[in-house]
C-alpha cells in the first residue's frame, strides 16, 4: 500500500497488459484490413489508353480509346495542344507554363458509365498534345489523370 492506495498484484497487471496488447493488435489489424479492402475496391484504374502516353504518331488519331478496370463515368476530358516551339525544361510539367490551345470536342461521350470509352477527335494537326481526364467510379470515387502524345509533321 503506497500513500493509502492499494495496488493490484503485479501478476494481474501483467496479464491485463498482455490481454489488452493482443486484443488491441487484433482490432487494429481488422481495422487496417477493412480500410485497405475498401480502398482497393474504390478504384477503377485506367488500364490502357490509345494512343499510349508518350506515343509518337506519324498521322493524327481519329479517336482516343480509354479502358478502365471497371465501369466509370467519364465526367471531364480536355485536350490541349502546345503552341510554343520550346517546351519547359522539365518533362513532367511540359504543359504547365507553356502556351497551349484547348481543342474543341463534341462532348457527347461524357457522363456515360462504361469500362471502355471511345472519344472521337476532330482533325489534329502535327504537334504535341496533352489529354487531361476525370472520371467517377461506381462508388463515387473521383479519379483523374493525364497523358500526352506527339503527332509528327507529314
At residue 103, the 3 state secondary structure works out as strand
Length of the chain: 154
30-53 confidence digits (pLDDT tens): 765 656 544 444 567 899 999 999
Grid cell locating 123: 482533325
> What is the Cα gyration radius of the chain?
27
Exposure letters 125-154 (e unless 16+ CB within 10 A, then b): eebbbbbebbbbbeeeeebeeebbbebeee
Q: What are 148's strand-pairing partners?
A: 130
The predicted pLDDT at position 41 comes to 47
Residue 9 or residue 40, greater confidence: 9
Verdict on whether the full-model pTM lies above 0.75: no
The predicted pLDDT at position 91 comes to 46
The predicted pLDDT at position 39 comes to 46
Cis check for the bond before 112: say yes or no (omega within 30 of 0): no
Nearest-angstrom CA–CA distance, 127 and 82? 7
Tell me the pLDDT band of 99, cut-offs 50, 70 and 90.
Answer: confident
Amino acid at each position: 500500500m503506497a500513500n493509502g492506495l492499494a495496488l493490484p498484484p503485479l501478476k494481474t497487471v501483467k496479464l491485463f497488459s498482455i490481454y489488452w496488447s493482443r486484443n488491441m493488435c487484433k482490432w487494429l489489424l481488422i481495422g487496417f484490413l477493412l480500410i485497405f479492402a475498401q480502398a482497393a475496391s474504390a478504384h477503377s484504374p485506367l488500364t490502357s489508353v490509345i494512343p499510349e502516353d508518350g506515343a509518337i504518331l506519324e498521322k493524327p488519331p481519329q479517336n482516343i480509346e480509354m479502358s478502365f478496370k471497371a465501369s466509370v463515368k467519364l465526367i471531364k476530358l480536355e485536350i490541349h495542344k502546345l503552341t510554343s516551339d520550346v517546351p519547359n525544361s522539365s518533362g513532367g510539367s511540359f504543359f504547365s507554363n507553356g502556351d497551349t490551345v484547348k481543342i474543341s470536342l463534341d462532348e457527347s461521350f461524357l457522363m456515360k458509365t462504361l469500362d471502355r470509352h471511345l472519344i472521337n477527335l476532330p482533325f489534329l494537326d502535327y504537334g504535341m498534345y496533352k489529354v487531361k481526364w476525370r472520371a467517377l467510379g461506381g462508388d463515387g470515387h473521383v479519379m483523374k489523370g493525364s497523358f500526352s502524345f506527339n503527332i509528327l509533321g507529314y
